[in-house]
Amino acid sequence: MPSARRYPLDHFLNRELTLLAFNRRVLAQAADDSVPLLERLRFLCIVSSNLDEFFEIRAAGLKEQLKLGSHAAGVDGMPPQEVFRRVTGQAHKLIAEQYALLNDVILPALADEGIVFIRRSLWTDAQQEWIHEYFINEVMPVLTPIGLDPSHPFPRVLNKSLNFAVELEGTDAFGRSSGAAIVQAPRALPRVIRLPKELCGVEHGFVFLSSILHAHVGELFTGMNVLGCWQFRVTRNSDLFVDDEEVKNLRIALQGELPQRHFGDAVRLEVADNCSDVMTDFLLQQFGLGREDLYRVPGIVNLVRLMSVPDKVERPDLKYAPFQPGLPKVLTKRYDIFASIRKQDILMHHPFQSFTPVIQLLEQAADDPHVVAIKMTVYRTGTDSVLMEHLLRAAQKGKEVTVVVELMARFDEEANLSIAARLEEVGAHVVYGVVGYKTHAKMLMVLRREDSGYRRYIHLGTGNYHPGTTRFYTDFGLLTCNPEIGDDVNEVFKQLTGLGKAGALKHLWQAPFSLHTNMLAAIRQETIAAKAGRPARIIAKMNSLLEPEIIEALYDASQAGVTIDLIVRGVCSLRPGVKGLSDNIKVRSVIGRFLEHHRIFYFHADGAQTIYLSSADWMERNFFRRIEVCFPVLDPKLKRRVLKEGLKSYLTDNAQSWEMNSNGEYRTKPTRRARICAQELLLAEMRVNTVNAV
């Protein structure tokens, strides 16, 4: 476990505030008029999706601390009361900016392009007639209005569901006059409905489900007078709790816990900005929330639902240009994936290069009579994964298939439970790793009987085995049959499926055993070199940088004269550029078309230039509470590729790169140089030079 802090607490930045700062950078993409218009809408929706998770997990954790009366400060020295106050203030500002951008900029720009969201007050008679028919046939049959009275208490409102609070006047057939009702919109109903073109006068006309319900809510309460109808949405604590010490069967325990996710403690209430104070106070009381938890929004309360709009609109000119990912040269002419890997190690850079070789490895392994066993870790892979289909077929053909399924992969638990059940049905060995440690390592091992004996074919990656995300996340994957790396991967699988002490590994650094120690040692070696007057350099790219001991080692290295460049997409607790502390450290964040997801660690190492790739960020959870692997790139040509494509290209980016100052604020740097965008350059290079790539 990490040691006590050696630096003052104010040398560290707060995690929650830096996470909100990340979402502000994402929102800047939506405001950037150089980004295609429908992609700007997507970025706006991504901010909403990110904020949902922020409230479900991070804000919910803060509220739990407040409920328990905790005053324990985090690594930054800020008590939870102060963190919550600042987080609430920043979140309100961010959401206000988000809706202002939507209403004042993006929706008018879309309307100029013939993509219109028609307001209820502007419906024509023909549109009203079509919408009413839609309400009667499609919406009304699945609605269950709930009048609030002693026999109908306030309903259990699902997490993040769309609901309507209705104020009523009059009495019903039974003489009841409670004056209020709740209407829950089933999740099966689309939130955005396309109108027929002939009714709109534009190419793409849409109405919101909320507008349809507002217009016709009176038909749900016959004979009553509707005084007001307001949409609302509650966000709940969605962090699952499974007691590691008490659990006997992780799968059964998780199945029992999952349904409660939809009904955890409320942490945020969103209401329409015209909602009456009386109804707002009533809702806050029902959910046990305070005024600081209330978010009044001028528009629909769930912008995530707009994410589907770009896919419904055939306007390629308003979207990113499609691209065909390339293939490494060694794979362009060979159809035998095993022969290709025997020839040389193969590096794939996603999404610029295709994920297909990994799928082909499993596909050929399932059909190859010489393959006797397949082992794989599954963290996120999706509900309809082609990889899982190949694993199922391999098991059905009698091969020894072992899959380590991480049941606690947040928000993928249900999909992974389903995958586990299907694999067990066909005779695969399914294990759930180690209780108390998430299996986050991305490993695939195929054991094949050949003339020289058994040979292990390995895939290691920085991302997930999810064919969908490989089109949008930047990641590296390595295919190799290096026998020593194969031995290391086999050893890690032994730990995951069996019992015993952790054996020494030749090349891999593994959490929770050696990763933290080896990473610190590599940083300290650069520090020693700098103190001795030798060249010293560290470049690291990751999603998050939070682990205090690593940060302190970087501070030490900076003071010794090590030049340090950190490319951190999201949260970063390190303060760069502080005189006498971190003068030699620069922190950048790159936000663009693709989600920057690879973890790359470069050390000068007295000229050896060691490069490691990993599934792990520099966070306490990755070092101490997860099973991770960090693997070296041994081939000199591939090493040069990683350095060029994964690091240097991002250090020269002046188009989508943000630089962090010592206060945790990010700024794009104005430059007179020609525009350099790392992602665009890599896309162009992989298209043009695919056949020349190693």
Catalytic residue positions, numbered: 440
CA end-to-end span of the chain: 40
Cα–Cα distance measured from residue 96 to residue 299, given in angstroms and rounded to the nearest whole number: 11
Angle at alpha carbon of residue 491, lines to 485 and 496, rounded to 5°: 130
What is the token pair recorded at 80? 């939870």
Cα–Cα distance measured from residue 509 to residue 456, given in angstroms and rounded to the nearest whole number: 19
Kindly tell me the burial class for residue 81, based on how many C-beta atoms sit within 10 Å of its own C-beta (0-12, 13-18, 19 or more).
middle
> Which amino acid, 184?
Q
Residues 6+ apart with CB under 8 A from 482: 345, 458, 507, 634
| Chain-centroid distance, C-alpha 2 | 26
Cα–Cα distance measured from residue 298 to residue 273, given in angstroms and rounded to the nearest whole number: 5
Residues 6+ apart with CB under 8 A from 648: none
Stretch (H or E) spanning 169: strand 163-169
Cα–Cα distance measured from residue 548 to residue 528, given in angstroms and rounded to the nearest whole number: 20
Alpha-helix residue ranges (DSSP H) falling in 291-448: 309-312, 329-332, 337-343, 356-367, 386-396, 413-425
Residue with tokens 């952790």: 502
21 to 55, 102, 339, 435: CA distances (angstroms): 15, 19, 47, 33
Q: Are strands 115-117 and 595-596 parallel, antiparallel or unpaired?
A: unpaired
Which residues, listed in sequence order, are joined to residue 540 by a DSSP beta bridge?
566, 601
Map residue 409 onto helix, strand or coil. Answer: coil
What is the token pair recorded at 443? 């490993």
